[in-house]
Amino acid sequence: MKAAVLRGPYALTVEEVPCPKVQPGFVLVKIRATAICGTDVGIYKGKVAVPRLPVIQGHESTGEIAEIGPGVTDLKVGDRVVLNSVIFCRHCAACYTGRVNLCPNGGLMGREVDGTFAEQVAVPDYNCIKIPDTLSYEDGTSLIALATVFHSHDRIDLIPGQSVAVIGQGAAGLLQTRLSVIRGAEPVFAVSRSRWKLDIAESYGARVIDAGTADPVAALNEATGGLGVDLAVESVGTGATLRQAMEMVRPGGTVLFFGIGPSSLDDFNGYAMYYKELKIIGSRGMAPVDFLRGIRMVESGRIDLHTLITHRFDLDHVKDALDLVDQRPGDALRVVVTV
């Protein structure tokens, strides 16, 4: 089968590799679509460490069950599925309590184990979540991002009528904005330097702040009469934007550090955390139940995943897709590689 194999930073080639064998409890999935996220780009560039090379990249995927291994009873050949890209053992303390995203023995497809920039992949049956026929394979790849947003909202107490600011309007940031509106937050401020992304956020029901033309903290403070918001969602993953979130939130408020931040935060304002008595909450990955929540929300028509896809590539041009997201991140939302 064809797969995109990474052998070093930027050294990605599409080549013929053996088709994975199906072990007991596993299924073989014919990949239909895989979206690119920031973690993929970090691995591609060598900024995100991988335990071994070469590795087949990719993890935000949908596909069709092609073969079932011994012991699999809840899936059948032909089922349409989205893949939970989080690998977990099911036997540790974190897994026993349902926090599989924190499994110390786990990892991520396309990093700890081979991923989905390939024609086929073998995965445990419990990593497959069935998707309805009304949801396309391409749109279904965004269920992974939506699941992480649902999971992060389990970490906070968002009450209808509270105010929210979402810093960063990439695909996940836009989903943060939309889910906050759906959950009854009022007002919801969307902050971005990209005007076209702000237009999408506005169509989702948000008030927009163009960080390219105004100081976002000053604009937010003016919009709230100097009070600040109850919740600030940092969806970029930098020290500078975390500091903005801390400055935007009211005394006693909450900052959701949703973006994957660096190991060192030079712009962290420890005094503000003390003086304003802030809560800063992290969020990592998702749990299987978060996919079901996302599917229900999409089926209800309250969230449209199709508008998030801006670029499409085939498997032979996956390197071009990664280069696009790496070199021109402001031009893209969801870049999907189809097989």
CA distance linking residue 164 with residue 101, whole number of Å:
26
- The strand pairing partners of 209, in sequence order, are 191
Mean pLDDT (whole number) for 308-322 = 97
Strands 55-56 and 2-6, sheet pairing: antiparallel
pLDDT tens digits for range 228-283? 999 999 999 998 999 999 999 999 999 999 998 777 777 788 888 888 999 999 99
Strands 164-167 and 229-234, sheet pairing: parallel
Read off the tokens for 258: 């949703």
Task: Give the per-residue pLDDT at 114.
Answer: 96
Q: pLDDT band for position 130 (50/70/90)?
A: very high
Q: What CATH superfamily classification does 2-146+286-338 receive?
A: Medium-chain alcohol dehydrogenases, catalytic domain (3.90.180.10)
Nearest in space to 176 (alpha carbons), one of 194, 193, 161, 158:
158
CA distance linking residue 261 with residue 39, whole number of Å:
11
Signed CA dihedral, 60, 48, 283, 333: sign only: negative
DSSP states along 89-117: -SSSHHHHTT-GGG-TT-EEBTTTB--SS
CA distance linking residue 62 with residue 131, whole number of Å:
9
Q: pLDDT band for position 152 (50/70/90)?
A: very high
Cα dihedral 128, 23, 102, 167, rounded to 10, equals -40
pLDDT tens digits for range 97-128? 999 999 999 999 999 999 999 999 999 999 99
Nearest in space to 334 (alpha carbons), one of 62, 15, 126, 47:
62
Task: Give the per-residue pLDDT at 272.
Answer: 83
Task: Give the per-residue pLDDT at 91.
Answer: 95
- CB-neighbour burial class of residue 271 (10 A; exposed 0-12, middle 13-18, buried 19+): exposed
Task: Give the per-residue pLDDT at 117.
Answer: 98
Cα dihedral 153, 165, 191, 174, rounded to 10, equals 30
DSSP 118: B
Domains 2-146+286-338 and 156-282 share a fold: no
Class of domain 156-282: alpha beta
Share above pLDDT 70 across residues of the chain, in percent, rounded to a whole number: 100
Would the pLDDT of 61 be above 90? Answer: yes
**What are the distances in angstroms from CA 229 to CA 24, 164, 223?**
51, 6, 10
- The strand pairing partners of 113, in sequence order, are 109
Query: The pTM is what?
Result: 0.94
pLDDT tens digits for range 169-201? 999 999 999 999 999 999 999 999 999 999 999
Q: Where are the domains of the chain?
A: 2-146+286-338, 156-282
Would the pLDDT of 224 be above 90? Answer: yes
Please check whether residue 8 is in contact with residue 310, taking contact to mean a CB–CB distance below 8 angstroms.
Answer: no
